[in-house]
Amino acid sequence: MPTLQRLDPAAELGIPSGRMPRHIAIIMDGNGRWAKQRGWPRIRGHEAGASNVREIVTQCARLGLECLTLYSFSSENWTRPASEVSHLMALYVHYLIKERDEIMANDIRLIQIGSRDGLPADVLRELDETASMSSANRGMTLALAINYGARQEIVEAVRRIAARIATGELRAEQIGEETISDALYTRRLPDPDLLIRTAGQMRISNFLLWQISYAELYVTDVFWPDFRREHLYAAIREYASRERRFGSAPDAT
């Protein structure tokens, strides 16, 4: 049974609950540079980054977020050295098994977004097992972006829509934003309100290009293995302080 202890955003963060984001997406960057600063191999940084996921996921769940999306492995990351990719895949298997009790205790529903093609069989097996056992949970959705690329996601969405047109299920003039959103990996999830990128890089890196059209962006120089609750809270407080206009003009004064 879930044992999640909810936090009151007003008391914990000093912001009204109505100013909390529903969906936070995080580009977890800086693992390799974190390790390099210490004279360690890159994989040590990935191990430290994986260990850091639990604290951030748990805090987001306790704060009542509807969804947290973590950019874990991009479709471009296959170009990294084979030994590094192999170790990363082993880390996913380890995480998915080790964190099942925490996922269930925190009432989290886990899903994967990204292509399944090319992922090792053991990664798919553990992903499916964890997703299945957590599918009835009603707390936060944790979306792991593994083998994910936004351009490829949009290409696949266009193909799905084209197939519907070819069968006569859909007419071209019926296509709208909702049609496209429903064809993406993130269908049935709210668009991110806040996108956090660690390690200071000022780019999106092919992540959720359609979904972050109106997201607030927050970049911190902190490397992902060092990103803690206080850094998460700083990002949320900054988000809460901003005026979101979604393209409209500010109120006249």
Q: State pLDDT tens for residues 202-237.
A: 999 999 999 999 999 999 999 999 999 999 999 999
Cβ within 8 Å of residue 187, ≥6 positions away: 181
Q: State pLDDT tens for residues 66-94.
A: 999 999 999 999 999 999 999 999 999 99
The pLDDT, as a whole number, for residue 4 is 72
Strand, coil or helix: 226: helix
User: For the chain, how are helix, strand and coil distributed in percent, rounded to 5?
Assistant: 45, 15, 40
With a cut of 70, say whether residue 250 has pLDDT above it. Answer: no
Give the mean pLDDT of 123-147.
97
Q: State pLDDT tens for residues 97-118.
A: 999 999 999 999 999 999 999 9
The pLDDT, as a whole number, for residue 116 is 96
Q: How many CA atoms lie within 13 A of 112 on its CB side?
A: 24
Give the mean pLDDT of 158-186.
97
With a cut of 60, say whether residue 2 has pLDDT above it. Answer: no
| Lookup: tokens for 109 | 């529903």
DSSP state, 242? S
Q: Which residues pair with 112 in a beta bridge?
A: 144
DSSP state, 143? E
The pLDDT, as a whole number, for residue 49 is 96
Catalytically active residues are 29, 77
The pLDDT, as a whole number, for residue 16 is 86
Residue 109 dihedral angles phi and psi, to the nearest 5°: -105, 120
The pLDDT, as a whole number, for residue 6 is 85
Higher pLDDT, 252 or 38: 38
Q: Which domains does the chain have, with CATH numbers?
A: 22-148+191-240 (3.40.1180.10)
Q: CB-based burial of residue 64 (10 Å sphere; 0-12 exposed, 13-18 middle, 19+ buried)?
A: middle
The pLDDT, as a whole number, for residue 248 is 66
